[in-house]
């Protein structure tokens, strides 16, 4: 029987990744299309990508595919040939990482989910077939020059905090499912305005644009390929970046520098900083922004209490965190969680 799941520990996999003697290319892609049998689609894709030594995170649902992966550079063309052999994915746009050290992922995980983007939409009349118009990098810059243009950031607060477009409006919510109705309500008096929505790689803002049209908005656009594609295209064309700061990404890099602007602050001392890190206490794993000075002072931890714990013997640390699973905290960055833990006005 073919292997359809990873059976090796994360520690071993990470060690193997750093021992590789070939480069990797980090990419992301998505596509909304009907998949009648997601589990079978998932298993077939796992077999093909595992054989090509692809690492990363892929979600499959009846509504489509959402992937963030790294591919051995010397096998990239074989990977594309396989991907493009799937009719619905033929010639799909591949967003290549802006700053890539090739160490973004160390294992392949493909999961079947109810949706590739959890949106909270239960209206049976909603359809992704009616979505906003794409704008490319040059069009984005031109529209941003118009005073009447409304720009909505469909990412979470921790992503907005380290980088965003000029004039962008933050939707103050911790989840995409909360953002959708909130965005529609915040813009209810601008149903005839030009509204541009953007996100990291395009998948959230594409669905958001369809949702806004479903809610009666008239002129809705979304940035093609999100911030990642925009950053690559302005570099190719020699255009000014209207996105300032860092683009948060959901892998081990935790961010890509788009411009040298540092618009965020260390959550512990308040000095200019845009470096996200996970608390080194395995019983915490809170993700927050920490400068190098505070990283040294707190041993990479979010509080003195966590610092005290990481200085304990490993056996004692394991005993203290028995029954506590903090694995998901790596990408759990709710503002409400950060405030009580760090004691800052975030």
Q: Domain-by-domain residue ranges, the chain?
A: 10-112, 133-237, 276-342
CATH superfamily, domain 133-237, is Rhodanese-like domain (3.40.250.10)
| Cα separation, 222 vs 155, whole angstroms | 13
Question: Which member of 199, 205, 266, 279 is catalytic?
Answer: 199
- Name 71's Cβ contacts closer than 8 Å, sequence gap at least 6: 24, 25, 27, 52, 53, 54, 79
Ranges 45-59, 157-171, 246-260, 268-282: which has the least confidence: 246-260
Question: What pLDDT digit, counting tens, does each position of 108-131 carry?
Answer: 999 999 999 889 998 889 988 899
Q: Which of 64-78, 248-262, 325-339 has the lowest mean pLDDT?
A: 325-339
Among residues of the chain, what percentage have pLDDT more than 70?
90
**pTM: predicted TM-score of the whole model, two decimal places:** 0.79
Contact yes or no for 320/281 (Cβ under 8 A): no
- Tokens 């644009």 belong to residue: 209
- Coil, helix or strand for 282? coil
Confidence of residue 320 (pLDDT cuts 50, 70, 90): confident
- Is 301 tagged catalytic? no
User: pLDDT for 184-206, tens place per residue?
Assistant: 999 999 999 999 999 998 899 99
The pLDDT tens digits of the residues spanning 261-308 come to: 999 999 999 999 999 999 999 888 898 999 999 999 999 999 999 999
Q: What is the predicted pLDDT for the residue at 28?
A: 92
Q: Left (φ > 0), alpha (ψ -120 to 50) or beta: where does 299 sit?
A: left
Please give the C-alpha separations between residue 215 and each of 197, 210, 304, in angstroms, as whole numbers. 15, 9, 47
Out of 3.90.1010.10, 3.30.70.100, 3.40.630.30, 3.40.50.2300, the CATH code matching 10-112 is 3.30.70.100
- Residue 22 burial (10 A CB sphere; 0-12, 13-18, 19+): exposed
């Amino acid at each position: 029987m073919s292997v359809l799941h990873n059976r090796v520990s994360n520690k071993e996999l990470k060690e193997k990744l750093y021992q590789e003697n070939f480069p990797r290319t980090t990419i992301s892609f998505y596509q909304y299309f009907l998949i009648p049998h997601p589990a079978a689609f998932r298993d077939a894709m796992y077999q093909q990508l595992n054989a090509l030594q692809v690492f990363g995170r892929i979600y499959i649902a009846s509504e489509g595919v959402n992937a963030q992966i790294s591919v051995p550079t010397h096998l990239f063309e074989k990977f594309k040939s396989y991907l493009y052999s799937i009719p619905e994915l033929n010639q799909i746009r591949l967003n290549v990482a802006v700053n890539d050290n090739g160490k973004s992922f160390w294992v392949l995980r493909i999961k079947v989910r109810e949706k590739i983007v959890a949106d909270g939409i239960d209206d049976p009349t909603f359809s992704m077939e009616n979505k906003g118009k794409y704008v490319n990098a040059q069009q984005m810059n031109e529209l941003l020059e118009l005073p009447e243009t409304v720009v909505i950031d469909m990412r979470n607060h921790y992503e907005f905090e380290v980088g965003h477009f000029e004039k962008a409006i933050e939707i103050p919510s911790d989840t995409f499912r909360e953002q959708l109705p909130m965005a529609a309500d915040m813009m209810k008096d601008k149903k005839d305005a030009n509204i541009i929505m953007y996100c990291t790689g395009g998948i959230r803002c594409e669905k958001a644009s369809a949702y806004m049209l479903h809610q009666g908005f008239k002129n809705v656009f979304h940035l093609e390929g999100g911030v990642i594609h925009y950053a690559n295209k302005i570099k190719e064309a020699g255009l000014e970046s209207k996105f300032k700061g860092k683009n948060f990404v959901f892998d081990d890099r935790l961010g890509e520098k788009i411009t040298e602007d540092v618009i965020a602050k260390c959550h512990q001392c308040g000095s200019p900083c845009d470096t996200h890190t996970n608390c080194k206490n395995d019983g915490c794993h809170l993700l927050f922004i920490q400068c190098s000075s505070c990283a040294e002072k707190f041993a990479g931890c979010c509080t003195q209490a966590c610092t005290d714990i990481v200085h304990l013997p490993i056996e004692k640390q394991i005993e203290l965190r028995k029954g506590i699973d903090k694995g998901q905290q790596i990408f759990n960055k709710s503002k409400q969680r950060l405030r009580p833990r760090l004691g800052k006005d975030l």
